[in-house]
């Protein structure tokens, strides 16, 4: 087991946001966190990333309690692709990807030969060689997300945490990013924990035959978890999102894909 969350509860003030949440991810498994705005998706990610440290319960990665790990130790186990990234200085793509090697050198260190090789590997793996010498500030949103994914890969962590990775991408780039992620999970055995607003994402991973789980968070209600196709139903969508929707199955190109059709917001 790569990620194990046991009986996690967290609250910002008096009212609890996450309550008695338990969840686990095996090697090569994708967990998609779903739920309305403010339901605690990012909060849960922050507990795994060690940014929130006042939760009760246990969060462990590769059998190690995240609260007992130092920053470099945790970064070797969990990498992170943030939702928004505010660029400051126009570093080249390669310089940004190299930052994934931070945990390997001490406070005063700089990356060595092996770090450069892993950086090159991550660049090749994500297919961004073409613009690896360009300032990453000049890239499009889709390209920049791939750079951040490459940086996460360079960390060589068994678990990647992504916060709404495709929220700023267009239709095609979103698909390319999902394909890249599927490939990493399938061939490299990486585990993924991602928060997303797109119900299609867990359904996509499931139709691709990747071991995947969906988790639905809803403030004030117990969380639900299960196989994406079983969890995403008209009933749960009504309860969690307050939306009337149908889930249909489409067969095309030798694939069976489930998709959500929205009818209306009036219940």
Residues at the interface with other proteins (CB under 8 A): 49-51, 70-72, 74-76, 78-80, 82, 85-92, 94-95, 98-100, 102-105, 107-111, 116, 119-120, 133, 135, 137-138, 151, 155
C-beta of 74 vs 128, nearer to other proteins: 74
| Shortest Å, Cβ 93 to other proteins | 9
Minimum CB distance to other proteins, residue 211 (Å): 25
Smallest separation, CB 45 to other proteins (Å): 10
Residue with smaller CB distance to other proteins, 148 or 210: 148
Minimum CB–partner distance for residue 20 and other proteins (Å): 26
Question: Between residues 12 and 227, which has the closer beta carbon with respect to other proteins?
Answer: 12
Instruction: Of 100, 153, 165, give the one whose Cα is nearest residue 127.
Output: 153
In the complex, the smallest distance separating the C-beta of residue 122 from other proteins, rounded to whole angstroms, is 12
Alpha-carbon distance of 132 to 114, in angstroms, equals: 18
- Shortest distance, position 82 Cβ to other proteins, whole Å: 6
Q: In the complex with other proteins, which residue's Cβ is closer, 25 or 240?
A: 25
Three-state secondary structure along the chain?
A: CCEEEEEEEEECCCCEEEEEEEEEECCCCEEEEECCCCCCHHHHHHHHCCCCCCCEEEEEECCEEHHHCCHHHHHHHEEEECCCCCCCCCCEHHHHHHHHHHHHCCCCCCCCHHHHHHHHHHHHHCCCHHHCCCEHHHCCHHHHHHHHHHHHHHCCCCEEEEECCCCCCCHHHHHHHHHHHHHHHHHHCCEEEEECCCCHHHHHHHHCCCCEEEEEEECCEEEEEECHHHHCCHHHHHHHHCCEEEEEEEEECCEEEEEEEEEECCC
Closer to other proteins by CB, 85 or 244: give it: 85
Phi, psi of 55 (to 5 degrees): -80, 160
Nearer to other proteins, 161 or 178 (CB): 161
Could you tell me the smallest distance in angstroms from the CB atom of residue 157 to other proteins? Answer: 9
Torsion angle in degrees (nearest 10) through CA of 43, 25, 159, 190: -140
Nearer to other proteins among residue 19 and residue 115 (C-beta) = 115
């Amino acid at each position: 087991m790569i990620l194990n969350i046991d009986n996690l509860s967290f609250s910002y003030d008096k009212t609890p946001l996450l309550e008695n949440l338990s969840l686990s991810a095996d090697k090569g498994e994708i967990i998609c966190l779903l739920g309305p705005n403010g339901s605690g998706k990012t909060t849960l990610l922050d507990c795994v990333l060690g940014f929130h440290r006042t939760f009760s319960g246990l969060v462990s990665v590769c059998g190690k309690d995240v609260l007992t790990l130092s920053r470099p130790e945790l970064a070797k186990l969990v990498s992170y692709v943030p939702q928004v990234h505010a660029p400051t200085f126009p570093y080249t793509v390669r310089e940004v990807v190299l930052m994934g090697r931070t945990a390997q050198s001490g406070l005063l260190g700089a990356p060595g030969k092996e770090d450069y090789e892993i950086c090159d590997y991550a660049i090749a793996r994500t297919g961004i060689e073409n613009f690896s010498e360009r300032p990453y500030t000049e890239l499009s949103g889709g390209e920049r997300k791939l750079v951040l994914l490459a940086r996460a890969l360079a960390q060589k962590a068994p678990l990647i945490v992504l916060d709404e990775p495709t929220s700023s991408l267009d239709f095609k780039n979103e698909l390319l990013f999902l394909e890249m992620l599927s490939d990493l999970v399938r061939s490299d055995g990486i585990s993924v924990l991602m928060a997303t607003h797109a119900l299609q994402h867990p359904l996509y991973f499931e139709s691709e035959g990747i071991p995947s789980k969906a988790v639905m968070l809803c403030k004030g209600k117990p969380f639900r978890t299960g196989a994406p196709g079983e969890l995403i139903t008209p009933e749960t969508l009504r309860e969690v999102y307050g939306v009337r929707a149908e889930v249909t199955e489409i067969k095309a190109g030798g694939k069976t894909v489930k998709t959500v059709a929205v009818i209306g917001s009036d219940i």
